[in-house]
């Protein structure tokens, strides 16, 4: 069941960022009335990619913007799966002891959350373009 969820998350992420396999660096998408969505390709390897996917919320007094949910995803290119590695800004989905009970259930919940969020982002018509550096 977790494998099928990771398969679906891969398909959703590839719809959100169709050129992801050739992307490096930071990308952003803005939708009027919604916070910007950021995608950062952190690590690339022959069979994996690690990406961070976050909303960017402005903070008062020009403090550093808030990234939420601070989600780190690992793509497995050979199996076509996406796995949630980390979600920092939440308390309900701890990811510890991931492949033993109750960790496997926690991993399933985190990946279910990721899939629903990816689906929501697609429904809002987010898409990615290169962020130019100044």
Domain borders along the chain are 2-124
pLDDT over threshold 50, residue 97: no
Band of pLDDT at residue 90, cut at 50, 70 and 90: low
Percent of the chain clearing pLDDT 90 (strictly above): 54
Instruction: List, for residues 29-84, the tens digit of each pLDDT value.
Output: 999 999 999 999 988 888 999 999 999 888 777 777 788 888 999 999 999 999 99
| pTM score, whole prediction | 0.83
Instruction: List, for residues 106-132, the tens digit of each pLDDT value.
Output: 888 889 999 999 999 999 999 986 554
pLDDT of residue 7: 96
pLDDT of residue 101: 60
Half-sphere exposure of 84 (CA within 13 A, CB side): 33
Q: What is the 3-state secondary structure (H, E, C) of the chain?
A: CHHHHHHHHHHHHHHHCCCHHHCCEEEEECCCCCCCEEEEEEEECCCEEEEEEEEEECCHHHCCCEEEEEEEEEEECCCCEEEEEEECCCCCCCCCCCCCCCHHHHHHHHHHHHHHHHHHHHHCCCCCEECCCC
pLDDT over threshold 60, residue 92: no
């Amino acid at each position: 069941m977790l494998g099928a969820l990771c398969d679906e998350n891969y398909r959703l992420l590839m719809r959100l960022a169709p050129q992801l396999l050739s992307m490096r660096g930071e990308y952003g998408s803005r939708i009027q009335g919604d916070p910007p969505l950021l995608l950062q390709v952190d690590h690339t390897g022959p069979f994996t990619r690690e990406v961070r996917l976050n909303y960017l919320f402005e903070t008062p007094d020009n403090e550093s913007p808030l990234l939420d949910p601070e989600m780190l995803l690992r793509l497995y290119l050979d199996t076509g799966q996406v796995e949630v590695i980390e979600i920092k800004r939440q308390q309900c989905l701890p990811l510890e002891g991931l492949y033993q009970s109750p960790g496997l259930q926690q991993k399933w919940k985190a990946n279910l959350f990721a899939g629903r969020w990816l689906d929501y982002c697609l429904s809002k018509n987010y898409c990615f373009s290169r962020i130019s550096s100044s």
